[in-house]
Structure 1
Amino acid sequence: MRPILIKSVKMPGEDDPVDIRLHHGLIAEIAPEIHCSEAERIDGSGLTVMPPFAEAHIHLDTAFCADEMENQSGTLDEGIAIWQKLRPRLTESLVQEKAERVLGKMLTEGVQSFRVMVDVSGGQLTAMRALVQMREAGRELFDLQLIAFPQNGICSGDDGIRHMKEALEIGADGISAVPHLEETRKKGSDSIKQCFDLAVSEDATVHIFADETDESDSRFTEQVAKVAQRYGWENRTAVSHANAMEYASETDMVKLLEALISSGIHLVTCPTVNSVMNGRTRTSPKGRGIMRVKELMKANIPVACAHDDYRSPFYPLGTGSLLKSANLLVHLGQLTAKEELQKVMAMIGPVPRKLMGLSETSIAEGEHANLILLEGEAPEEWIGHAQAPRYVFRRGRILSYTPQVTSELKMTVPKTADIIEI
């Protein structure tokens, strides 16, 4: 394999640019000046090198279903109803086609690790079988984790535990629960316990959807934290959404923070989907639709930022860009201080990687050459512009290249009050 030499690229937090030589899938050398006549040269001027991003919560089976049926109310309930109608139409080839389109786009956006939520309701394992095949076939390009997700619940009519166990048998990495969608609060609590019982018996990861509601008294996230700690499963547990905490009283919020700090479980916020879906049934003033990230950040509770849906019955848009998700999170969470912006960048890189149990990555000699080159030198630029990486490398090879976007102004900006005739 021909070496690649990246010239004059910035390292995060460093003042002086460096050269980086990639060879045999590894970072072979980092130095102020490297000469390698046989290498393919890449100009890194104006770019910053960093490890690739990680997506902690994405749905591939529902992708592009927005093209088939419209969610006119924009609510979670209508989204679920539409998905119930469309799910039986899935075939393995259709799921793989959807996944190929979404993963391909997200790879160009610098994402190389994905935790995928796969609906197994009704015992339909079509999507899981298709994605297990893709996980094995695509290891050279990406890391894929598959979570068996019981959209119809565990205790309210559908045998979610049996379906998730079957999914684990064919290759799922983890299981889930949706306690806020169960018929009663008791069934919601029971579903959490049953989920952990199965996880411990099958040695599976737990990633629960909780409190994706505007009901201020929905407190399943706190329960998950306590149960995870009781089972000794806190390092393998995550909770997505947790929007209800936005409306929680200060007393309840203190209790939740104490449980989260004590357990150390990870949270995942999905700003794009939840900001447009939550609050639909409330009168003004409405919340911002996301968990209280600023308070969680101050308490050093690990939170990842995820893309979630992609043109699905739950969300008709989708860019595949975690930087754009981070951009929205900065606005919704009012996270504009320099330190906060740095932490938001970690929410799409190191934090989700740890959540997924992946090894830490760094830009150092001897490390795997999985890299991205972003325009700019600081989080304000990366998040503010939210541009796709100029280059994406996987195992020392160029995986993606996005040309620099430039604009040419055809009129002169006036400096005085002269009238411009158009």
Structure 2
Amino acid sequence: MSGNTPCDLRLGRVRLTDGSVVDVDIRDGRVAAVTLSGPGPATAAGATEVLDLDGYILLPAPAEPHAHLDKALTADVFVNPTGDLMGAIEVWRSNRPDLTVAEIADRAEAAVRINLAHGITAIRTHIDVSEMVGTTSAEALMAVRDRVGHLIDIQIAGLVSTPSVGDSGRANRRALVDTLELGIDVVGGCPHLEDDPAPSIVAALEDAARFGRPVDLHMDETLDPGVLDLVDLARLVIDSGFEGRVTASHCVSLGVQPAEVQREVAALTAEAGVAVIALPQTNLFLQARGVTVSPARGLTPVDTLREAGVAVAAGADNLQDPFNTMGRGDPLETAALMVMVGHMTPAEAYDSVSNTARTVMGLEPVGYEAGSPAEFLAVRAGSLREAIASAPADRVVVHRGRVVSRTVATVEQPD
């Protein structure tokens, strides 16, 4: 039977990951009660709204910890001539000065709604920041946040262009400061593309301390084993006392190091409290182009990092742009890749795109107990494994205790 306390929303007859079938009562944006379902359809007693979710499994809502919404949905317009990272960077840099706030905002909102329909209720997007583009992308994404912030939480990270330090980088760094003053949420950057990575890491930590923001840097997005700036990042974080507020995205080159080096770097990363975001889709697309014998997967060593105590989330990264012409904005696609490429269990893989992703983003984790944030994804599936494998279209998305998206698919087949 459902709880006796009045509630705003009841998710009735929904299956949990342990197989139990329950009614979940939600009040004021949080779980109020979870009780075993009785026989028959879900009842409306005491509930303002009831959804009978017989046949669905209820999951903590996914979060997207690493997106590029200002680039999204441009793959048919800006064509990557080489298919690799530098080809994507060059075609993007040559075209981005022509992009307007309105054009970026419209594409970004479309991308947000794609993610939302697939179950994502929080997203961190990196945006281009440079002397050339100024605050254009920041203004666009802040406009999007104003439009849809009641449906999904949006964090904005300033991805400052290189160079970002020294005399030649002063204007780009000033542009980043301008976006921080405008109100973006996270300090970003790409140290491995700098001539001297360490000073750019120092600058990022200094800006973060000055503005009271976390840091999320693109790190070591290369298969070159001679590049391993994650070590400098971890040491500088420890020296600065910034532990627990820094994220390293990609960390591709760590995956091509000898096992002992991987373990040493993983231990140092854990000591620094640096979280890592694995990005299998884009790195599979960009890395090892032209390598015909045993091409690397371009994935950071997930198991080694997790064994050392590093929080490892997973994200989709780019959505149909020059950096990844594929992608569906679906966290179940990312989770499936973490099973197939990262060799995680389905439960581990889903956690990497949900609660671990939320933790990396500084958000409260989601559970089934009373008091938990009511951030849920209900999928028409009998188990978590089936949900990840099949990625059913039928989904219900709950954010802050209310339904913000629902998709119902119809299949018609002749006899």
Q: Answer whether TM exceeds 0.5 for this pair.
A: yes
The corresponding residue for 1:181 is 193
Structure 2 regions of 5+ residues with no counterpart? 1-5
State yes or no: 1:378 paired with 2:387.
no
Judge conservation of contact 1:372–1:389 (CA < 8 Å) in 2.
no
- CA gap 1:351/1:367 in 2 versus in 1, 3 angstroms: closer
Give SS of 1:347's match.
helix
Residue pairs, 1:227-238, within 5 angstroms:
227-238=236-247
Q: Distance in 2 between matches of 1:367 and 1:326?
A: 23
- CA gap 1:29/1:229 in 2 versus in 1, 3 angstroms: same
**Alignment root-mean-square deviation, CA:** 2.2
Judge conservation of contact 1:109–1:389 (CA < 8 Å) in 2.
no
- CA gap 1:378/1:58 in 2 versus in 1, 3 angstroms: same
Q: Distance in 2 between matches of 1:212 and 1:69?
A: 21
State yes or no: 1:216 paired with 2:225.
yes
Judge conservation of contact 2:335–2:346 (CA < 8 Å) in 1.
no
Q: Distance in 2 between matches of 1:136 and 1:94?
A: 16
- Larger deviation, residues 15-24 vs 63-72: 15-24
The corresponding residue for 1:392 is 397
Judge conservation of contact 2:119–2:395 (CA < 8 Å) in 1.
no
Shift of 1:3: 4.3
Judge conservation of contact 1:161–1:195 (CA < 8 Å) in 2.
no
Judge conservation of contact 1:155–1:188 (CA < 8 Å) in 2.
no
The corresponding residue for 1:301 is 310
Q: Distance in 1 between matches of 2:89 and 2:357?
A: 26
The corresponding residue for 1:261 is 270
Q: Distance in 2 between matches of 1:171 and 1:389?
A: 36
Q: Distance in 1 between matches of 2:307 and 2:391?
A: 25
Shift of 1:238: 0.2
Judge conservation of contact 1:59–1:118 (CA < 8 Å) in 2.
yes
Residue pairs, 1:14-413, within 5 angstroms:
15-32=19-36, 33=38, 35-37=43-45, 39-122=48-131, 124-155=134-165, 157-159=168-170, 160-183=172-195, 187-280=196-289, 282=291, 284-335=293-344, 340-388=345-393, 390-404=395-409, 406=411, 408=413
Q: Distance in 1 between matches of 2:269 and 2:371?
A: 36
Shift of 1:83: 0.7
The aligned amino acid for 1:31 is T
Shift of 1:315: 1.1
Q: Deviations over 1:84-134 (max 9, x none)?
A: 122111211111101111000100110011111011022521010121233
- Larger deviation, residues 170-179 vs 376-385: 376-385
Give SS of 1:172's match.
coil
Q: Deviations over 1:301-344 (max 9, x none)?
A: 21111011111111111201011011122211233xxxx32111
Judge conservation of contact 2:69–2:108 (CA < 8 Å) in 1.
yes
The corresponding residue for 1:420 is none
- CA gap 1:96/1:253 in 2 versus in 1, 3 angstroms: same
- Larger deviation, residues 326-335 vs 107-116: 326-335
Aligned-residue sequence identity (percent) comes to 26
Q: Distance in 1 between matches of 2:86 and 2:169?
A: 17
Give SS of 1:308's match.
coil
Output the TM-score relative to the length of structure 1. 0.89
Q: Deviations over 1:48-74 (max 9, x none)?
A: 212211111000111122121211310
Q: Deviations over 1:139-196 (max 9, x none)?
A: 311111111111333137333322211110001112122121113xxx1122111211
The aligned amino acid for 1:174 is V
The corresponding residue for 2:3 is none
Q: Distance in 2 between matches of 1:122 and 1:387?
A: 44
- CA gap 1:25/1:333 in 2 versus in 1, 3 angstroms: closer
Structure 1 regions of 5+ residues with no counterpart? 411-422
- CA gap 1:16/1:281 in 2 versus in 1, 3 angstroms: closer
The aligned amino acid for 2:157 is I
Q: Deviations over 1:387-410 (max 9, x none)?
A: 345211223332222225657585
Q: Distance in 1 between matches of 2:34 and 2:140?
A: 40
Judge conservation of contact 1:121–1:158 (CA < 8 Å) in 2.
no
Judge conservation of contact 1:153–1:179 (CA < 8 Å) in 2.
no
- CA gap 1:234/1:388 in 2 versus in 1, 3 angstroms: farther
Judge conservation of contact 1:210–1:240 (CA < 8 Å) in 2.
yes
Judge conservation of contact 1:122–1:158 (CA < 8 Å) in 2.
no
Give SS of 2:205's match.
helix
Q: Distance in 2 between matches of 1:350 and 1:225?
A: 23
Structure 1's consecutive aligned runs of 4 or more residues displaced over 6 angstroms after TM superposition are: none
**Count of aligned positions:** 402
The aligned amino acid for 2:369 is A
Give SS of 2:321's match.
coil
The aligned amino acid for 2:164 is I
